[in-house]
Amino acid sequence: MKQHLDVSTPRSVLKQVFGFDAFRPYQESIIESALNGRDIFAALPTGGGKSLCYQLPALIRPGLTVVISPLIALMKDQVDAAKATGVEAGYLNSAITPEERTETFRKLNSGKMQILYIAPERLTIEGSYESLAEWGCSAVAVDEAHCISEWGHEFRPEYRQISRIRSVLPGIPIMALTATATRRVQDDIIAQLNLENPYVVRAGFDRPEIFYRVEPKRDTLKRIAEFVTARKGRSGIVYRSTRADVEKTAAYLRERGIDARPYHAGLPGEIRQKNQEDFKTDSIPVIVATLAFGMGIDKPDIRFVIHGDLPRSLEAYYQETGRSGRDGDDAEVLLLWSAGDMAKSMFHINKLVNPDERERAGESLRKMRLYASTFACRRKVLLAHFDEKHPGDCGGCDVCAGEVESVDTTEDARKLLSAAARTGERYGAHYLVDIVRGTLTDKITERGHETLPTFGVGAKESRKYWLGIAGDLESGAFVYRDEERFKALTITEEGKNLLYGRRDFRSVRRVGGRKESIHTQETLTGENLTLFEELRALRYEKAKEIGKPPYVIFPDKTLRALAVIRPHTGDEMLECPGVGEKKLASWGELFMEAIRAFEVAN
């Protein structure tokens, strides 16, 4: 391919191969630094175009670019997407077939390979680094580089082996890429990889296309179903913390007419693989998964992500929510959580043997809880974790959009705390709510609790209201639910400050104020929208024929441009974003013929 490619400038390659007229922010400076042989550290947001930063230089400079990535399930899609643009790419990992391995080695040994994706585990095999030298490796890109840092949320010990490449291939430029790195993790990555005077880029972590929404858990399955139903036909991921909850949630959605499939490590491999492939190819709209899912998904048109349970860190939350809206169109994320989630996670964290690891995990979870319980702009809180300032009032979260408000509930909170204190902190939320509402149950009369001063002081409010107050107290760490004492609410030091009048208390209340569903195709109306849907159907049909995800042919953004511009010639089609010469040759005439047929019929 290279002999036919104009490699005079990165911009010419960008247009001719990838079909884009302009780089995204920071891409051009990263690519120029790579072509100048510099080490690079780049923290770019999910969907910020990290892969182009190593793919494009690989087409210009001689030799092999090696991409080290833990995303084994994603490698085949990455290679397919690269080949669709005319790039000679391959991969080596534990999932490759013997035939694929033989073909990859043949191309490597002949010097025809331009990009090789390789799993870090593969580099632990003796002689692997020497093989890279024999294959003419001229650059290395380390994707998901936060995995090398103990301070990162997905530390992988095998990543520490990567620095050996310096002794085998001295002077070779290394590019470290990540979408989730605090300053501390950044410094650790640079040190662990021995990056020499690296060009450092920290792009903004803001994802303005994502709307952030957080709600307390109230009938979790029902709320998930309501949210998904309102976005019928759109692609989305629902995350649950356990396999049992994954199966239960997927079944609940299917019972309500939503084709949702489960994905977790307990499924037989062939079923798990089929469910993942069906999701990637748009055969099903929704997948319900444990948190391991998504690392192998490069699907740009995911419109929503739901967390049915509290994630264990803001880094994980940012990465998982960041799988939505990668095509640049509007997306939504919903977090449902309770203090019970916090208690369950802390139970597992406290079983960690390493005290440093235990402390780091506990601190990460506490920061996640603060985000979920904040009254401030969620975007501001999230970005502050990555050392990025945001003025707030983003308009893109439930707080700023007026969906929630902060209400002074100090007196009611004290009533519930008083009930807990007067009963010896021995009972759970439901029992305490019965006391403040004045409900004469058999257990209350047996224990004489109907004589307490707090009995019936909250009779005018509903049971749901008081359980909400209990949940808010737990979320704010004013009480602790003791799982070993039948979920009894124990008052914390901060709770005592509230009870004895040394501080006040506010609850979050949802007030509406924003239309739930985001219509990402509002710019298309009438015939343009009809044509867009026909082009999507054509893409889906052809993708099934070739066994590839639809976006490998064209992303939705390209189809929308085709529906508006309606090109009749190759030159006109090349003006559409995402259409390069390779894709024009492969698919141009087919889609232009569909456009012409539509115009004749309409």
Task: Tell me what the pLDDT averaged over the chain comes to.
Answer: 87
- Is the pLDDT at 121 greater than 80? The verdict is yes
pLDDT band at 289 (very low <50, low <70, confident <90, very high): very high
**2 C-beta neighbours (distance < 10 Å), count:** 11
pLDDT tens digits for range 490-532: 999 999 999 999 999 988 777 654 445 443 444 677 888 899 9
What is the pLDDT, as a whole number, of residue 519?
39
Q: Helix-strand-coil percent breakdown of the chain, rounded to 5?
A: 50, 15, 40
Confidence of residue 452 (pLDDT cuts 50, 70, 90): very high
The residue ranking higher by pLDDT, 289 or 342, is 289
* Separation in Å, CA 574 to CA 117, 197, 565, 583: 29, 39, 11, 9
In tens, the pLDDT along 186-229 reads: 999 999 999 999 999 998 788 888 999 999 888 899 999 999 99
Distance CA 586, CA 250 (A): 38
Distances, alpha carbon 427 to alpha carbons 424, 441, 472, 491, in Å: 8, 14, 17, 11
What local confidence, expressed as pLDDT, does residue 292 receive?
62
Give per-residue pLDDT as tens, 314-331: 988 998 998 998 888 889
Q: Under a CB-based contact definition with an 8 Å cutoff, are residues 505 and 409 in contact?
A: yes
Q: Do domains 210-403 and 526-601 have the same CATH topology?
A: no
- Where does the pLDDT of residue 160 fall: very low under 50, low under 70, confident under 90, or very high at 90 and above? confident
Q: What is the pLDDT of residues 415-437, one digit of tens each?
A: 999 999 999 999 999 999 999 99
Residues near 195 by beta carbon (within 8 Å), at least 6 away in sequence: 39, 40, 41, 174, 176, 189
Residue 287 three-state SS:
strand
Instruction: Provide, rounded to the nearest whole percent, the portion of the chain with pLDDT above 70.
Output: 95
Dihedral of CA atoms 302, 308, 311, 316 in degrees, nearest 10, equals -10
Rounded Cα distance, 285 and 445, in Å: 52
Classify the C-alpha dihedral 85-91-97-98 as positive or negative. Answer: positive
The domain locations on the chain are 2-202, 210-403, 407-510, 526-601
Q: What's this model's pTM, rounded to 2 decimal places? A: 0.73
Give the amino acid at 297: I
Is 153 a residue whose pLDDT tops 90?
Answer: no
* Lowest mean per-residue pLDDT among 302-306, 402-406, 564-568: 402-406
Architecture of domain 2-202: 3-Layer(aba) Sandwich (3.40)
Q: How many alpha carbons fall within 13 Å on the CB side of residue 297?
A: 31
**CATH hierarchy code of domain 407-510:** 1.10.10.10
Q: Under CATH, to which class is 210-403 assigned? A: alpha beta
Which CATH code fits 526-601?
1.10.150.80
The pLDDT assigned to 523 comes to 61
Q: Judge contact between 248 and 308, C-beta under 8 A.
A: no
Structure confidence at residue 461 (pLDDT): 92
User: pLDDT tens digits, residue range 122-152?
Assistant: 888 888 888 998 999 999 999 989 888 877 6
Q: Enter the tokens of residue 370.
A: 């603060």
Bridging pattern class, strands 115-118 and 488-491: unpaired
Q: Place 235 in a pLDDT band, splitting at 50, 70 and 90.
A: very high
* Residue 338 CB neighbours (<10 A): 19
Whether the pLDDT of residue 445 is over 90: the answer is yes
Relative to beta strand 404-408, strand 506-510 is antiparallel
* CB contact set of 326 (below 8 Å; sequence gap of 6+): 46, 47, 299, 300, 301, 302
What is the per-residue pLDDT across 5-18, written as a single tens digit (0 to 9) for each?
Answer: 566 689 989 988 88
Quick one: pLDDT at residue 6?
60
Instruction: Give the model's pLDDT for residue 512.
Output: 53
Q: Phi first, then psi: give them for residue 414, nearest 5 degrees.
A: -65, -35
* Pair type for strands 260-263 and 115-118: unpaired
Which band of pLDDT confidence, cut at 50, 70 and 90, is reported for residue 293?
low
Q: What is the pLDDT of residue 8?
A: 66
pLDDT value of residue 156: 76
Distance CA 195, CA 260 (A): 44
